[in-house]
Amino acid sequence: MKQQVLVLYLNTSALDSEVLAWAFYDGTGRTDPTTGDSDLPPYGTGTEALRDGWRLFQASQLLPPYPGHEYDTSYLKHEFFFEKLE
């Protein structure tokens, strides 16, 4: 059994919000995704991925900013990991 992993970065913490960024890792070896290989996301929202059979297995937590760093921006906030097994 081999795992395919899809990572979607969403506009808000809601799973049905818009996909802003994405990554795909293919344990089957059939494809070789890499940085900067597509301008179009595979799905419009997180829930579209669910409807296509992807299983959500991790979502980023909502963490309060560190005191004194409330206005700092850093990594993409709303990260959702999905998998398919073949």
Partner 1 sequence: MATTTPLLSSVEVARFVANGYHRMDAVVPDELNQEAIGVFDAGIPVVYSGEPVAKVYEEGSFVRRLLEVPAVAGALHSLIGPDPLVDHQALHIREPHEGAAQPLHADAIIDTRPDAFDVQLMYYPHEVTGTMGGTLSVPGSHLRRTNESDTGRYQNLRGQTRLTCPAGTVVLLHHGIWHGGRRNDSDSRRYMFKIRFNPTVPQVRLWDTGDLDDPQITRELSRFFPWCEHATGRLEVYNRIKLWRAMTGDASFDIDLWATRVANRPGRAA
Which residues here bind partner 1, judged by CB under 8 A?
A: 7, 9-12, 19-24, 33-39, 41, 71-78
Least distance to partner 1 from the beta carbon of 56, Å? 17
The residue (of 52 and 76) whose beta carbon lies closer to partner 1 is 76
Minimum separation from the CB atom of position 29 to partner 1 (A): 15
**Tokens in use for 35?**
């940085």
DSSP string, 7-72: EEEESSSSTTSBEEEEEEEETTSS----TT--SS-S-SBHHHHHHTTPEEEEE----PPPTT-TT-
Cα-to-chain-centroid distance, residue 42: 10
Least distance (Å) from partner 1 to the CB of residue 86? 21
Residue nearer to partner 1 on the CB measure, 42 or 50: 42
- Beta carbon nearer to partner 1, 37 or 63: 37
